Amino acid sequence: MSTTVTAKGQVTIPKRVRDLLGIVPGSKVDFRRAADGSVVLMRTDQARAASRFAKLRGHAGEGLDTDAIMALTRGEA
């Protein structure tokens, strides 16, 4: 796929690339130079996926105090 640069330095991102990256009007994109010298187009406004640790975060439950949690842990409940 190729495109033409305008006098203002603008280009049209081909539809197949926009569809692949989910780029819609108002999307933010970034251009990064890779180690091999190529330039990579990335969408930057997407929410980052939660890490495997973030998915595990939570709490013991509503209304449980430390003594109640310890009793459950020890099997005293």
Which residue in 54, 55, 72 sits closest to 63, CA to CA? 72
Higher pLDDT: 77 or 34? It is 34
Q: What does the domain layout of the chain look like in residue ranges?
A: 15-74
Beta-strand runs (E) in 9-75: 29-33, 39-43
Taking phi over 0 as left and psi of -120 to 50 as alpha, with beta for the rest, 17 belongs to alpha
pTM: 0.53
Which pair of structure tokens corresponds to residue 55?
A: 């998915």
Question: For 26-69, how does the pLDDT look when each residue is reduced to its tens digit (9 = 90+)?
Answer: 889 999 999 999 999 998 887 666 677 777 777 655 777 888 88
**pLDDT at residue number 6:** 96
How big is the CA angle at 72 (ends 69 and 76), to the nearest 5 degrees?
130
